Amino acid sequence: MNVNNSLVARPIPGMFTRIWTDSLRHWVGQYSHPMTWTGLGLFVFLLLFSWVGPLLYPVSPLAIHANHLLLAPSWQYPFGTDNLGRNMLARMMDGGKATLEVGLLGAVIAMFLGILYGMVAAMSPRWLDKVLMRLLDALLALPGIVLMIFFAAIIPLNTLSLILVLGCLSWPGLARIVRNEALAYKERDYVLAARQFGASTLYIARVHLLRSMLPILIVNATFMVADLILALSGLSFLGLGIQPPHASWGGLLNDGLQLVIIGPWWLIVFPGVAIFLAIVAMNVLGQGLLARLEGR
Amino acid sequence: MLRRMIFNRLRTSALSLILLVTIVFFLIHATPGGPAYSILGMHATPEAVAALNKEMGLDHPLWQQYAIWWEHLFEGNLGYSFTQHAPVASLMGSYLANSIILYVLATVIAIFFSVLIGMFQGYWAERTPGVLIGAGQIIVYSIPTFFIGVMLILFFAIYVSWFPPGGIGGDQSAGGALNIGSYFHHMVLPAITIALPLTAGLSRYFGHQARSEYRLDYVRTARARGVPPLRIAVNHVLRNAIRPLVTVIGMMIPGIFVGGILTESVFNYPGLGWLLWRSALEQDYPTLSAIVLLIGVLTILGNLAADLTNSILDVRVRYE
Amino acid sequence: MTDKALHRSHIPLRETDMRSDRIVHHHEERSYSSATTGLQVRNLSVTFGRGRKAFQVIEDLSFDIAAGETLGLVGESGSGKSMTAAALMGLLPWGGRVSSGSVRLGETEMTRLSNAALRTARGREIGMIFQNPLSSLNPSLTIVQQIAEPYRLYCGASVSAARDHALKLLKEVGVPDAEKRLDDYPHQFSGGMRQRVMIAMALACNPRLLIADEPTTALDVINQAQILRLIQRIQKEQGMAVIFITHDLSLVAEYAQKVMVLYAGKTVEQGSAEEFFQAPRHPYSQALLNAIPRLISAGKRLTDIDGLPPRPQEFPRGCRFAERCPAMTPECLTVYPERTGTDAHHFFCVHPVGGAA
C-alpha cells in the first residue's frame, strides 16, 4: 500500500478511504481474469432474473389456468405453461429465488462452520487437533446428500430448513482446507514474530491467518455455492428438495422430466439451463480466481 | 519405516471408524421420539413403544445403549427392517454387490479416460486444444448427474434402444442363473452416468498434474536425448504424473457414492444408493442407518486402501 | 558392437540414417558444403510469434567450432544463451522458430531436418548437459534406463548391450561402484555424481557436438573443476566440438579456445580466447570481466552493471547495451554499430574499450 513509512504516522485526510480504494483496485487488478468476469456476469444475471424479474413480470407462479395446460412458449407465456397451466416464466423466477437462496445462504453457513472448525483445529494443541481431524475424517466419509436423505423424513422440507441442513452438512471439506492453510501460515515468520510480541491466539487467527487465507476462502466459497446448488437439484430429483407447490429449479426440472415422454421440451430446457448456468457461473468464477491465485 | 507408516495409518483409520460409528449412533438417537418411534411409526401406542424399548435395550442409560450398539455391530446385527421384514444385514448383500461392481466399473472407465484426456491436456496446456478441454471439463462437471442419466435414457434407451432404460439384468429375483451379458448390458448407462462427472473432475486434476510435469527439466533432457514425443509421454511424464492419482481416487470416494445414489435412483438400479433412497421414502430407519454406516465405513476403508497403496508404491521408488 | 558404435561418430551421418524425403536435401548440401566435422552456424535468428506481434530473441549469430574445440558462450541470464542452444538442438519452446540462418553439423543442415531426423540427430550427434542435474533427471526411472535410452533408440542396441554400454560410460565419467549404481534412482546420487550421470547420458552415442548449459552452476568449486576437466578429457579423446554456456568468464578463460559474448540476443564481441582476454573491446565484455573477483587485484572494488537487459519485445533500434553503457553517446541509441575487427576477434561497438581500432 502506498502509505508512507515514516515512523510517526500522522493521519492524512482521507487516508483510510484511500487505503480501501487502493486495496480494492489492487485486488481487482490482481484477480481480474476473463473467466472471473464471465462467471460473475452470469451469476449477477441470474440474481437479477430471480429478484428483479418478478418486479418487471408480476405474475403469480402458483396461479393455475385449467384451460392453458402445457402450452409451448408464446408471447402470452414466454416460457410456456406446465401441466397445471401455471406460468413457467413466473415459476422459473420463483424457483430461482429459492435455489439461489439455498446456494448462497447455505454456503454462508457452511463457510462459517468450516472456517470455525478448521481454525479451532489449527490453533488447538496437537492432541486435540488430531482428535478433531479424525472426527473430520469420519464426517467426510458421510457425504452431505447421504445425511440429507437420512434427515429428509424428519424435517419439514422448505427453503429455510434446506438452507440450514445443507449448510450444516457441507462444511467438513472446507474445514480441512482451512486447517491445513492455517497450519502452513502459522509457521511463517511474521506470525511467529507477532506471537513473540504477545499477540493473542484469537488476534493471530483473525488478523494474520484469516486475512492471508482470504483469496483461497473466496475461491472455495464459489465452489461451495456451485456444490450446494448441485446438491439441492439432486435432492429435488429424489423428491427431497423444496416441496410443491413451491418451485425450485431442481424441482421444476424434475417435474419436466416426469413428462419427458409426452415431450414438453420447455419444461426441461429452461430449468435445466438455469441450473447449469448457475453452477457453471460459480465454477467458472472460481476457476478464474484460482488461475490468478496460482499465478497463471 | 514402511511398517511404522502403515501402522500409523491403520491407527488413524481405526480412530475415524470409531468416531463414525459413534456419529451414526447419535444420528439414530436424534430421530424424533427415538428409534422405537421410527421403527413402529409415529402413531404407535406408548405401550408398544415401551415394549420395544425394553426388547431392544433402549430403556437402559445412553452409555449402556452405546455399548449394546457396539456389541450388535460386532455380531453383525444391524437391526431388523420392519418394512422389508428381514434382518438388515441379510438384506444388504446383493445391493452392496450390485453397487460395488457398478462403482468399480464406473471408476475404471473414469480413470482410463481421465489419464488419456489429462495427458493430452497437459501436453497442449495453454494452447487451443488444452483450453477447449478445460472448458469442456467445467461444463460436464456442472451438469447435474440425474440430468445426464435421464438424457442418456432418452437417447440410448428410448430413441435408439441400444441399452435398457433401467433395472438390472440377469433376473436375480427368480433365483435363476445370473446372465452375465444382460447384467453388464444393464450396467452400461448407469456406469457412464457416474463416470462422466467423475471424469471431468479427475481429468482436470490429472491435466494439471501432467502440465506441471511437462514443464520440468527432465522432459527437456529427454527431448535433448532425442526421445520421441509418445515415448516421453508414456515413459517419462505419465510415470510421474500418475503417482498422486491413487490418493485422489481415494478422496473421490464420497463423490462416487453421491453420484451413485442419484444414478441408481434414475435407473432404478437395485444398489445401495437406491436402497437408501427407498428406505428414506419408507422411513425404514434401521436400514437407513445401516446404509449410512456402511457408506461411511466403505469410504474410510477406501481411503485407507488408497493411502497404503500409494505409500507402498512410493516407498518402492524411494527406498528400494 | 559397442566399439563399432563408439567410433562411428567421426563418420558423417549416413544417408540411410535419414528419412527418405530428406535425402534430396542431403545431397544438395553436400555439393557445396565445406568439409568440416565441427559445427558451423551462420546468421542464425530465432523469432517468436507471427505478424505484428513477432519479435526476435536471437539475431544474426555466426560462429564456427572445429572438432575438439570449445566455444565459451557468455552472457547474463536472458541474453539468449540457452535459446541459442535450444535452436541448435531444434528444441525451441512452442511459438519459436529459426527464422533465418543455417546450422551445419558436419555435413548436415540441421535447420532443414524433419522432426524425426532431428530426433535422431539429437540422439546421436548432439549431447547436452543442463544446469540442474537433479531436476534434469527423471526421478522415477533408474539411471541405467535413462542413460541407455538414446543408445537403444538410435544405435539399435539390445537391452543387455545397452546396459553394458551404460556401465562403460558410467565408469568413464568416474562414478565409483558403477555396477552397483546402475539401478539406482537419481535422488540416491550426490550433486557431482548426478552431473556425471548427465554427462554419461549425453555421451551415450558419442556425439559430435556437446552443449554444456551452465553445467557447474549448481555444484561446489571442487566438483566444478572435476566436472569441467572430465568434459575436457572426453572432448580430447573423442574430438567433440563443445559449446560451453556460462556467465562466468573465468571458467571460459580456463577451458575455452573461443569466446562469444551475447547481449540481448546479439553478439557483442567474439574471437579467440587469447585475444579476447588480452584486450576485450566491448564495454559489456569489460564490465563482465570487472565483475569477476580476482586475488591479484584484491582491494580494487568489484563493479557490477546497473539495470537489466531489455526484454525481447522491447529491443532498441541502436546498440542494445546503450542504456546501461558507461560510454554511451546519442549515436549509440540510433544506429546499430558495425562489425569491427578481424575474423579472429571482432566486436560491435562505436566506442570500444582502448579507443577505436
Strands C258-263 and C266-272: antiparallel
pLDDT tens-digit profile of A52-62?
887 887 777 77
Distance between CA atoms of C125 and C123, rounded to whole angstroms? 6
Give the pLDDT confidence of A116-147 residue by residue, as tens digits.
Answer: 999 888 888 888 888 888 888 888 888 878 88
Helix axes B253-267, B145-152, angle to 10 degrees: 40
Q: φ and ψ at C294, to 5 degrees?
A: -130, 140
* Average pLDDT of every residue of chain A: 80
Closest-CA residue to C109 (of C58, C83, C101):
C101
**Is there a contact between B226 and C123 if contact means CB atoms under 8 Å apart?**
yes
What is the band of B31 on the pLDDT scale with cuts at 50, 70, 90? low
DSSP-derived secondary structure letter, A57 = S
Lowest mean pLDDT among A98-112, A203-217, C197-211, C265-279: A203-217
More confident residue, A82 or B114: B114
Q: Do chains A and C touch (3 or more CB pairs under 8 A)?
A: no
Residue B65 grid cell: 445403549
* pLDDT score at A263: 72
Cell of A214: 482470504
Q: How far apart are CA B184 and CA B182, in angstroms?
A: 5
CA–CA separation, A22 vs B308, rounded Å? 49
- From residue C284, give the alpha-carbon distance in Å to each of A219, B55, C326: 48, 95, 9
Mean pLDDT of B244-260: 85
pLDDT, residue C13, reads 39
Task: Say which residue, A106 or B317, is predicted with more confidence.
Answer: A106
Q: What mean pLDDT, rounded, does chain B reach?
A: 81
Q: Please determine, for residue B34, whether its predicted confidence score (pLDDT) is greater than 70.
A: no
Residue B131 to chain C, least CA–CA distance (Å): 16
Which range among B1-5, B41-45, C107-111 has the greatest average pLDDT?
C107-111
Domain residue extents for chain B: 92-271+312-319
Determine the 3-state secondary structure of A52 from DSSP: coil
pLDDT tens for C75-115 read 887 788 888 888 888 888 888 888 888 888 888 888 888 88
Distance CA B193, CA B200 (A): 12
Instruction: Output the pLDDT for position A113.
Output: 93
CA atoms lying within 13 Å on the CB side of residue A106: 30
**Domain B92-271+312-319 is classified in which CATH homologous superfamily?**
MetI-like (1.10.3720.10)
Q: What is the pTM of this model?
A: 0.79
> In this prediction, what percent of chain A has a pLDDT beyond 90?
5
Domain boundaries, chain A: 2-294
pLDDT in tens, B114-130: 999 999 998 888 788 88
Average pLDDT of the residues in B263-288: 84
Q: Can you give the pLDDT at residue A233?
A: 87
Name the amino acid, one letter, at C296.
Answer: I
Model confidence at A106, pLDDT cuts 50, 70, 90, reads very high
Q: Measure C225 CA to nearest chain B CA, in Å.
A: 23
* pLDDT band of B109, cuts 50, 70, 90: very high
pLDDT one-digit tens code per residue, B143-182: 888 888 888 888 888 888 888 877 776 555 544 556 777 7
Q: State residue A213's pLDDT score.
A: 81
The total number of residues shown for chain B amounts to: 320
| A159 contacts A101 by C-beta, under 8 angstroms | yes
Distance from CA of B290 to the nearest CA of A (A): 11
Between C230 and A20, the higher pLDDT residue: C230
Please provide the average confidence, as pLDDT, over all residues in chain C. Answer: 79
Q: Helices A172-186 and A210-237: crossing angle, nearest 10°?
A: 170
Query: Across the interface, which of B217, B226, B243 has its CB nearest the CB of C153?
Result: B226
Confidence of residue B319 (pLDDT cuts 50, 70, 90): very low
Residues C246-290 pLDDT 10s: 888 888 888 889 999 988 888 888 888 888 888 888 888 888 887
SS3 of residue C9 by DSSP: helix
How far apart are alpha carbons A207 and A198 in whole angstroms? 14
Q: Are C288 and C261 in contact (CB under 8 A)?
A: yes
Q: Is the ipTM of this complex over 0.90?
A: no
% chain A with pLDDT above 70: 88
d(CA C280, nearest CA chain B) in Å: 34
Q: What is the CATH number assigned to the segment(s) A2-294?
A: 1.10.3720.10
Phi-psi region of C39 (alpha: psi -120 to 50; beta: other; left: phi over 0): beta
Residues belonging to chain C with any Cβ–Cβ distance to chain B shorter than 8 Å? 89, 91, 94, 116, 119-124, 126-128, 130, 132, 135-141, 149-150, 153-154, 185, 187, 198, 201-202, 204
CA dihedral (B270, B275, B279, B285) positive or negative: positive
Tell if the CB–CB gap between B226 and C141 is shorter than 8 Å. no
> A295 — phi, psi (to 5°)?
70, 40
Q: Hey, which chains touch C, using 3+ CB pairs under 8 Å?
A: B
Q: Where do the DSSP E strands lie in A160-274?
A: none
Q: pLDDT tens for residues C5-15?
A: 444 334 333 33
CA B67 to each of CA A283, B87, C192: distance values in angstroms, whole numbers, following the listed order: 45, 20, 63
d(CA C9, CA C106): 10
The pLDDT assigned to A5 comes to: 43
pLDDT at B36 over 80: no
pLDDT digits (tens, 9 = 90+) for A238-271: 888 787 778 888 888 888 877 777 777 777 888 8
Longest dimension (CA), chain A: 79
The structural domains of chain C, with segments of one domain joined by +, span: 1-13+38-125+208-281+291-304, 133-204
Query: Is 3.50.30.30 the CATH classification of the domain at C1-13+38-125+208-281+291-304?
Result: no
Burial label for A28, CB within 10 Å (0-12, 13-18, 19+), is: exposed
Which uninterrupted H or E stretch holds C237?
A: helix C221-238
CB contact under 8 A, A142 and B23: yes
- A88-123 helix and A249-258 helix, angle to the nearest 10 degrees: 130
Helices (H) then strands (E): counts for chain B: 15, 2
Residues of A near B (Cβ–Cβ under 8 Å) read 131, 134-135, 137-147, 149-150, 152-154, 226, 230-231, 233-234, 237-240, 250, 253-254, 257, 260-261, 272, 275-276, 279-280, 283-284, 287
